[in-house]
Amino acid sequence: MKHIERLAILTLLTAACRQDPPPTSGAHPAAATRRVSITVDGRGYHPESVTLPAGRPATLVFTRTTDEGCGQQLVFPSLNIRRDLPLGQPVEITITPASGTLTFTCGMAMYRGSVVAR
């Protein structure tokens, strides 16, 4: 188990340096940090709400798919995170959510999404 976890972390670290999303082999999903893909289009976030286990690290992968609307920036107000979302480029945000609801929005707080951790 330990060995598998180390491998998974190494894979993640290596993947972080590349622009392409890492291959999802799915060989040992339980040992890897959970990854959730979220698409940002002209209407908001899809999915709009993500449920995660509290206290466990998870990587949210945001990909903006259109220049319409105002999803160019992503904000997690309570975490002081503000990131640009370049068109078509996955942006990874790794969080360890505490139990409860964590809100994320676009730069002007018109689009809203949430992470529900329990």
Neighbours of 117 (CB within 10 A): 20
What is the rounded distance in angstroms from the CA atom of residue 93 to the CA atom of residue 83? 9
Q: Residue for token digits 């890492």?
A: 22
Sign of the dihedral through C-alpha 36, 40, 46, 51: positive
Among 38, 58, 75, 106, binds Cu ion (CB under 5 A): 106
Among 79, 89, 108, 112, binds Cu ion (CB under 5 A): 108
Residues β-bridged to residue 41: 44
Decide: is 75 part of the binding site for Cu ion (CB under 5 A): no
Among 7, 12, 31, 70, binds Cu ion (CB under 5 A): 70
Between 86 and 100, name the residue whose CB sits nearer to Cu ion. Answer: 86
What is the rounded distance in angstroms from the CA atom of residue 27 to the CA atom of residue 46? 26
Min separation Cβ 83 and Cu ion, Å: 14
Decide: is 81 part of the binding site for Cu ion (CB under 5 A): no
Give the footprint of Cu ion on this chain (CB under 5 A).
70, 106, 108, 110
